[in-house]
A and B are shown apart, each in its own frame.
Chain A
Amino acid sequence: KQEVTQIPAALSVPEGENLVLNCSFTDSAIYNLQWFRQDPGKGLTSLLLIQSSQREQTSGRLNASLDKSSGRSTLYIAASQPGDSATYLCAVRSSGYSTLTFGKGTMLLVSP
């Protein structure tokens, strides 16, 4: 059974810092990996999707990397802003499955 772990559970940084969020998964036989953002009281919004054959994906100030063999992914946020404050969730789609397994998320607070 796939398990997804996110470290740290919470992170507080001053505005402007570059930061890294970590995600690890137990079964390396994955189809793809996604990073989602969740704002308080809201649903999830997909940020980046990395296929198993890819090493990284970039969108604006966000960069996600994937090391399938070691079961790890990182989400890099450059020049953080207060508007980046949210919970970031990592989700893995295992090979042969159509469903996602989610980590518990990292709650990020960027202070002005």
Chain B
Amino acid sequence: DAGVIQSPRHEVTEMGQEVTLRCKPISGHNSLFWYRQTMMRGLELLIYFNNNVPIDDSGMPEDRFSAKMPNASFSTLKIQPSEPRDSAVYFCASSLQFRTGGFGGLDQETQYFGPGTRLLVL
């Protein structure tokens, strides 16, 4: 498998423009995560999907950010309008989540990260 694929790898745009980041998770994985990494705040979870459904979007900074997962093999993170403070590296990760035990608890294999998209908003 090629691993998690992200595009573009680098994006430079001007303030106010729309930015769309793309992610293709590992085939067979049912959980997808979008993270943002900055020097100041480290790695922060933005949103988490399970079986294409958003489960936790509490990390999404504001209404300018939106994420979709139309099918199991593709997700987008959109910023509209973009601002200089959005400059960061955005990572996508995927994993396999499954039920374990008689009580149906959820377990999850390790997350596999993509190479990231380095975004610069001028």
Contact = CB atoms under 8 A, between A and B. Distances in A.
Given A44-B91, A98-B97, A89 B43 contact: yes
Interface residues of B, number: 24
A38 to B, nearest CB: 8
B48 A98 contact: yes
B110 A49 contact: yes
Given A43-B113, A45-B113, A98 B108 contact: yes
Contact of A98 (B50, B115, B116): B50
Main secondary structure of the interface of A (DSSP, over half): strand
Contacts, number: 47
Interface in A54-73: none
Pick from A43, A98, A99 the residue with the most CB of B within 10 Å.
A43
B79 to A, nearest CB: 20
B2 interface: no
Interface string A89-107: 1000100001111111100
Interface in B24-43: 31, 33, 42-43
Nearest to B58: A99
Nearest to A42: B115
B113 A103 contact: no
Interface string B87-122: 000010100010000000010101111111010000
Contacts of A81: none
Given A34-B110, A98-B97, A43 B4 contact: yes
Nearest to A34: B110
Interface in A1-60: 34, 41-46, 49
Contacts of B114: 43
Interface of B: 4, 31, 33, 42-45, 48, 50, 55-56, 91, 93, 97, 106, 108, 110-116, 118
Interface of A: 34, 41-46, 49, 89, 93, 98-105
